[in-house]
Amino acid sequence: MIDILLYAGIAGLILAAICGPLGVLVTWQRMAYYGDTLAHSALLGVALGLSLQIDIQLAVLLACLLIASSLFALQLWRNTSLDSLLGILSHSSLALGLVCLSFIDGPGFDLNAFLFGDLLAVMRDDLYLLAAIGGAALVLLVIFWGDLLSMIAHAELAAVEGVKVQRLRLLLMLLIAATVAVAMKIVGVLLISAMLIIPASAAGRLARSPEQSALLAALVGMVAVLIGLGAAWHFDSPAGPSIVLTAGLIFIISHFAPGARRVSNQ
C-alpha cells in the first residue's frame, strides 16, 4: 500500500515538474489546443499497442511523436493554418483510435483508465520511463530557454538574430508530445492539457518573470498533485480528475492572492 502511494506521488511530482515550464511556453504560444490534439492521438497509440502486442506506453509515445512531426511538416507545407490542422488531426486521430479499439479482439480493457488516468496503477518501470523523459525534457528546456523565449516574443526578430526558429518549434512540439505520452497513465487522455494549462495560468497571475512563471507553475502542479492524491485516497475518487480539480481551485484562489495580476503575454 505504501509503495502504491509512493510511486503515485513521485510520478505526479515528476509530471508537475515537466508540465510547469512547458505549460508556460504552451500558454504564451497559445498552443492549448495542440495538447488536446496530441492527447487524442494517444488513443490511436493505445490501439496500435494492443493490436501489435507491444508496450502500450511505448506505442503511445511513438504515436504522439509521429503526430507532432506530421503537424510540423504540414504547417510548413503551403503555410497551412495551424488551427485547421489541429482540428482535423485532433478529431480524426481520436475517431480512428476509437474505431481501431472497437475491432480489437481479446480480453477487455478499462477505457476509463486511458481517458482519465490511473495514478495509483503506476509501477516502478513507469517511474523509470517518466524520469528519463522528464529529465531529458527539463535539460533541453534549460539549454534552449532563452532562445525559446526569444522565438515566442518575436519569431521574425529571433530569426534575424540567428535563432533557429523552425528547429525550436519542432523541439517544443516534440517535448509536448513526449510529455503527453508519459502523462496519459497519470491523468488520462482527457485531462493532460489541464495539467499543462492550469498551473501555468495560475503562476502567471503572480510571477514577475518567465523564470518565476516556470518555477511557480511547477510548484502549483506539485501542490495540486499532493492535495489531489490525498483527496482521491481519502474520498475514493479518481486520482487524475482530483488532481486537475485541485489545480483549478488553486487557479481560482490565485485571482485573489495579494499582488495577483494578469500577464500581458498570456
Q: At what angle do helices 2-28 and 210-235 cross, to 10 degrees?
A: 140
Burial class for 39, CB neighbours closer than 10 Å (0-12, 13-18, 19+): buried
HEC letters along 80-120: CCHHHHHHHHHHHHHHHHHHHHHCCCCCCCCHHHHHHCCHH
Instruction: Tell me what the pLDDT averaged over the chain comes to.
Output: 85
pLDDT single digits (tens) 123-159: 888 888 889 999 999 999 999 999 999 998 898 898 8
Q: How far apart are the first and last CA of the chain?
A: 42
C-alpha cell at 205: 497571475
Burial class for 180, CB neighbours closer than 10 Å (0-12, 13-18, 19+): buried
Task: Please identify, in words, the CATH class of the domain defined by 2-191.
Answer: mainly alpha
Q: Does residue 107 or residue 94 have the better pLDDT?
A: 94
How many CB atoms lie under 10 A from the CB of residue 68?
A: 25
Burial 10-30 (b: 16+ CB within 10 A, else e): bbbbbbbbbbbbbbbbbbbbe
pLDDT the model gives residue 260: 64
Report d(CA 144, CA 175) in Å as an integer. 12
Q: Does residue 259 or residue 52 have the better pLDDT?
A: 52
CA torsion through residues 221, 126, 167, 87, sign: negative
- Indicate the domain borders of the chain: 2-191
pLDDT the model gives residue 266: 41
